Amino acid sequence: AAAWFVLTRPAVRRWIAAQLWKMPAVGERLRVYELSRFYRTLGMLLKSGVALPAALDMAGGLLPPLLRHALQRAAREVREGQPVSRAFARQGLTTQVSLRLLGVGEQTGRMPQMVERSARFYEDELARWIDWFTRLFEPALMVLVGALVGLIVVLLYLPIFGLAENMK
């Protein structure tokens, strides 16, 4: 009950989220996850005919505060005439692959398709990582469960062995 009470507090949840973002492997995966959601939404908005500055503002609501501030700075740069790829790269809103895809989208005029392709790339990368993690985690979990069951069995039999020894 105490753990539930503590975990329902917004300040505690923000602190836990901040700690997760600081972890090297987990933080990068969270960033990729958030960027995939952002790129997917941005691509859909651009495909439906929404102008890029307005689409950036609308899709920015999906991002966590850290990335949202970076997006606001990037959107300001885009409004000032900077290419999207350069603004996103400067603010840390892309990886090397999506940077190239955005550049191709700018040159060919197929920005919505390239943004969606970036989202698909991020989603595939996340799927691969989750698959790798589960393949690693399942055997470790089985060993842990086996050790726990073994410990319970030993703890159940110890009193019986103690009684049998005392009866001699």
Report pLDDT digits (tens) over 20-42: 778 888 888 888 899 999 999 99
Query: Would you state the pLDDT for residue 168?
Result: 66
CA distances (Å), 74 to each of 65, 69, 113, 145, in order? 14, 9, 20, 48
% of the chain surpassing 90 pLDDT:
51
pLDDT score, position 37:
92
Predicted local confidence at residue 50, as pLDDT: 92
Q: Which residues of the chain have pLDDT under 70?
A: 168
Write down the pTM of the prediction: 0.74
Tokens of 52: 């890029």
Contact 57, 51 (CB under 8 A): no
**What is the pLDDT at residue 87?**
93
**Structure tokens that stand for 71 in this block:** 């997006």
Q: What DSSP designation does 79 have? A: H
Q: What is the pLDDT of residue 143?
A: 93
Neighbours of 126 (CB within 10 A): 15
Q: How far is CA 165 from the centre of its chain?
A: 56
